Every structure is written in structure tokens, then in C-alpha cells.
Amino acid sequence: MAVPPRKRSKSKTRMRRTANDRKAMPGVSYCGNCGAPKAPHRVCPTCGFFDDRRGRVVETEYAGAAEE
């Protein structure tokens, strides 16, 4: 059975373990139509656009005010 040549120090052990604890920040991109923050590769939750095209109709509280 293989045996390590030397004892690993506490600092080296902790440095190795801390690399696994780091969490990546979720990606945030901005809508090209309205500029609102959104998840990348997803339809904008504010205006419903995706890749400069209308992706879906989004119901907002202001939708009725525009028609009146």
C-alpha cells in the first residue's frame, strides 16, 4: 500500500479543502431590450424578450394602464 512521503501540513490541508467550498456566483446577464438583469440563456422575466425577439407575453401590473 502506498504511503505519503511526508505529513501534509495543516495549512496545505486547509487550502486543499477550501477550494471545494467555494461557490460560483450565478451568471447574470442583462436584457438587450429593457436592460433588466436576467439569467443567461433565458427569456427576460420583465419584458419577455429573448435574443432580441419576442419570447413570450409577460403579464405585468402596467399592461392594463397602457390600454386605457
In tens, the pLDDT along 6-20 reads 999 999 988 888 877
The answer to whether the pTM exceeds 0.85 is no
CA distance 17 to 22: 9
pLDDT for res 55: 67
Instruction: Identify the band that residue 68 occupies on the pLDDT scale cut at 50, 70 and 90.
Output: very low
Higher pLDDT, 22 or 16: 16
Residue type at 18 in one-letter notation: T
Instruction: Identify the band that residue 4 occupies on the pLDDT scale cut at 50, 70 and 90.
Output: confident
pLDDT for res 64: 53
SS3 label, residue 67: helix
